[in-house]
Amino acid sequence: MKKLRWQLIIIFLTGLVVGILLLSEQPEPASVFVPEPVQGGIYTEGMVGMLQRLNPVLDFYNPVDRDINRLIYSSLIQFDSAGNPQPDLAAAWGYAKDGTIYNFELYPNIKWHDGQPLTAQDVVFTVDLLRNGDPVVPADIQAFWNEIEVVALSDTTLQFRLPEPFAPFLDYLTFGVLPNHLLAGKTMADLIDDPFNLQPVGSGPYQFDRLLVENGEISGVVLNMNSAYYRQPAYIEQIVVRFYPDAPSALDAYRAGEVQGISEVTADILPDVLAEPNLALYSGNTPDLMLVFLNLNNPEAAFLQEKEVRQALMSGINRQLIVDKIMGSQGVLVDAPLMPNTWAYSDALPPREYEPDTATLLLKEAGYTITGEENVVRQKQGTPLSIDLIFPDEDPYYAIAEQIQKDWLAIGVETNLTPLGYEELVGDRLENRNYEAALVKLSLRGSADPDPYPFWDQAQATGGQNYSQWDNRLASEYLEAARITPDLQERKRLYHNFQVLFQEEVPSIPLFYPVASSAVDYKVQGVQIGTLFERSDRYNLINEWFLVANPASRRAATPVAE
């Protein structure tokens, strides 16, 4: 027993020494340098397009105006990159249980750039302009606001009363609010040519300083940081926007040292931008779904009513090749008509891959076979599997349609391509349901709410935008319920169920969401860009961009076990 005790003591002491030696060999916690942003600096951006009016109720048709207005004006709410509503002027809001009344509480002590207080009455005034905005406000926006009652309950509270529950309502509250004290009594007709449009007063993070004019034309805008901003003031002290006719001109301006950023990186300059050593590319999904509508109620293409055929057509398209080869990798594949990386899109569903063998098997099981050694088109009861595909008569639709034609022929499906002008494609073919398959871009720009109802609900199959004429009662119930419940988690559940059905039934073939990009010099730090419901969303976090920082502060990093 004594011998064993001494052995145990020796083992213990040996382990203790080894442990001390190991601890002494541990590296010291690594230090990282974290810049501390401070206010200062001038950021100059090359913006593609030309300025018209710096007035948020007049900017529906000019992206340049909307971009700059995003910096000058505030809205009740904004949406983050996942499509979640976030406070802007409104510090908080709530809704009645039946979803027909919304109450909003504004941040206290909000000031216009001229120092006057911003109140709920300014919001009411702006809504009145939107109601009577012919011809500069889209008709659907005017019609919407003519159904809504808006009441200022106090200087900082207001109430919206809806005729019926409508869950996407918050999506309509991103309009820039105008100052009633400067524009009261003016109609929309008065505002179109009002001097205010070139000398704006807003309440946003930046305030108007002056226009830049060259050869009698507006060549740029100078904005100064709003030091009295009611939220976190911006770090960059001044933003200068210079206008260029196209993206290559903006890139030339960057190379010449005239600008530090480019608002829009188009496909023709993308390789050059990527080759610039000091220029960072920032990309985000856009709400422009590229898809192939399938007409499920066309007797000339009765085979589209068979689910197995639709599944085969989708599995038979090499969508990744289209994105990589034709779109320059500027696209994100999806299997349902909802934006990826948003709260409504379900990542839990298995993706539908490019599987031509699976597509071939599905067609065989559906009774479509190849007869004869020289025939490459499948037939069923003597009828060839042939489909007419219409598409817009412009790029990149030609190249995409030709790739689809090639892929479908590989699985035994003949495709006849017909390019059409936009008016004929939409006004004649889609609206009259006079087509078999249509390659189109479904644009929902400016809308952060997913709401797929208009394109896939039964009620929209006749006279609406359900161009596929998908007649699925259960899917429609999900969409209809999601449209009237303001509870985001319940809507998420309903949209998940909708996506399960859509992916199984394949009423049409979603291809991808395109990606839009801008570029900013590496000297500008803190830049973050997510989903772009519209181009100006790249400024969502403009308050966090910075050019000037205190000497980097050393901070110990947490060791990572390997």
Query: What confidence category does residue 389 fall into, taking pLDDT thresholds of 50, 70 and 90?
Result: very high
Q: How many CA atoms lie within 13 A of 238 on its CB side?
A: 8
Confirm whether pTM is higher than 0.85.
yes
Percent of the chain past pLDDT 70, that is, above it, reads 92
Span 74-190 CATH architecture: Alpha-Beta Complex (3.90)
559 pLDDT above the threshold of 90: no
pLDDT at residue 16 is higher than 90: no
Portions of the chain given CATH number 3.40.190.10: 29-53+64-71+204-278+522-562
| Segment among 223-227, 377-381, 495-499 with least mean pLDDT | 377-381
Q: Are 337 and 456 in contact (CB under 8 A)?
A: yes
Give the mean model confidence (pLDDT) for residues 266-282.
Answer: 96
Residue by residue, DSSP assigns 43-58 as EEEEEES------TTS
Residues 6+ apart with CB under 8 A from 297: 305, 433, 461, 469, 471
- Give whole-number Cα distances, 149 to 144, 145, 155, 185, 200, in Å: 11, 8, 17, 20, 27
Parts of the chain belonging to CATH 3.90.76.10: 74-190
Contact assessment for residue 132 and residue 188, using Cβ atoms and an 8 Å cutoff: yes
What is the reported pLDDT for 138?
A: 93
Give the percent of the chain with pLDDT over 90.
Answer: 86
pLDDT of res. 317: 98
CATH entry 3.40.190.10 includes domain 29-53+64-71+204-278+522-562: yes
- Residue 101: the pLDDT is 97
Is the CB of residue 274 less than 8 Å from the CB of residue 281?
A: yes
User: What gap in Å lies between CA 155 and CA 177, rounded to an integer?
Assistant: 15
Judged against a pLDDT cut of 70, whether residue 15 lies above it is answered with no
Pairing mode, strands 508-521 and 261-262: antiparallel
Instruction: For residue 467, give the nearest of 283, 350, 319, 337 by alpha carbon.
Output: 337
pLDDT at residue 30 in the model: 53
> What is the Cα–Cα distance from 232 to 217, expressed in whole angstroms?
34
3-class DSSP state of 478: helix
pLDDT, position 32: 58
Q: Are 260 and 236 in contact (CB under 8 A)?
A: no
Q: What is the mean pLDDT of residues 138-145?
A: 95
**The CATH number of domain 288-514 is 1.25.40.10:** no
Which band of pLDDT confidence, cut at 50, 70 and 90, is reported for residue 144? Answer: very high
What's the pLDDT at 7?
Answer: 42
DSSP letter at 325 equals: I
**Is the pLDDT confidence value at 23 over 50?**
no
For residue range 531-545, list pLDDT tens digits in order.
Answer: 999 999 999 999 999
First to last CA, the chain: 41
DSSP SS3 for 329: coil
Predicted pLDDT of residue 27: 52
Predicted confidence (pLDDT) at residue 359 exceeds the cutoff of 60:
yes
pLDDT of residue 349: 87
What is the radius of gyration, based on Cα positions, of the chain? 29
Q: How far is it, in rounded angstroms, from Cα 508 to Cα 389? A: 13
Who wins on pLDDT, 518 or 562? 518
Which amino acid makes up residue 156? T
CB-based contact 354:318 (threshold 8 Å): yes
Residue-wise pLDDT for 179-231, tens only, equals: 999 999 999 999 999 999 999 999 999 999 999 999 999 999 999 999 999 99
What pLDDT shows up at residue 41? 97
Q: Residues 148, 160: contact at Cβ < 8 Å?
A: yes
Binning pLDDT at 50, 70 and 90, where does residue 33 land?
Answer: low
